[in-house]
Amino acid sequence: MGHKSGAICMIEIKLQRPVQWIICLLHGNELSLRHLIQELDGKTTGPMGFTGPVGKQLNNCEKLQITEFDAIPSPDTDIDDAELSTDQKYLLGIYYSAVSRGSCSSALAARNQGKMAHSRWLTTANRFLCLYVSTSEPSSTFNEIVRFIMTVYTPIWFKIKKNSSFTEGVKFYFLK
């Protein structure tokens, strides 16, 4: 494995020219969220669970009561929600209408976000935000994860969704 015998190296040998591995930008964006959650809140426990104190609460977050929570100011997004799937619309709603403004409707918080699965990091982000609106005194770890979702993961996610060409990818991360 690695740069001398990995998949890309073997393809380059077969084709007798250098190649580039292009990763889906949305999947690339998930890697930083996954790493942060696992670093701060603990590793995963199989395909659907977490070991940390915050991650263990994600499975039933939509059943919790909304409480007062601190707003986290976040960049606006100008994406057309007609282009979004149900879980993507939920992310837009809880990101823009709830957490960034400091109030959440009970209908939004109670909406089912789908099953937890580590192959669905968008659902995981939704669940963290849903849990946040139901937590009056979040731990510093939880706060850090939610702030990352609000200020890095979600704005980049919507920028990628709006313009998904891989040639634009560097702009999402390095140019504001």
73: in domain: yes
Residue 6 lies in a domain: no
69-123 per-position pLDDT tens digit: 999 998 888 888 898 999 999 999 999 989 999 999 999 999 988 787 777 899 9
Q: Is residue 18 part of a domain?
A: no
Please state the domain count of the chain.
Answer: 1
Instruction: Classify residue 74: in a domain, yes or no.
Output: yes
With helix as H, strand as E and coil as C, how does the chain read? CCCCCCHHHHHHHHHCCCCCCCCCHHHHHHHHHHHHHHHHHCCECCCCCECCCCHHHHHHHHHCCCCCCCCCCCCCCCCCHHHCCHHHHHHHHHHHHHHCCCCCCHHHHHCCCCCCCCCCHHHHHHHHHHHHCCCCCCCHHHHHHHHHHHHHHHHHHHHHHHCCCHHHHHHHHHCC
Residue 20 has pLDDT above 80, yes or no: no
Residue 17 within a domain: no
Read off the pLDDT of residues 129-173 as tens digits, 9 standing for 90 and up: 999 999 999 999 999 999 999 999 999 999 888 887 666 655 655
Q: What is the pTM of this model?
A: 0.82
Per-residue 3-state assignment (H helix, E strand, C coil) for 52-103: CCCHHHHHHHHHCCCCCCCCCCCCCCCCCHHHCCHHHHHHHHHHHHHHCCCC
37: domain range? 25-174
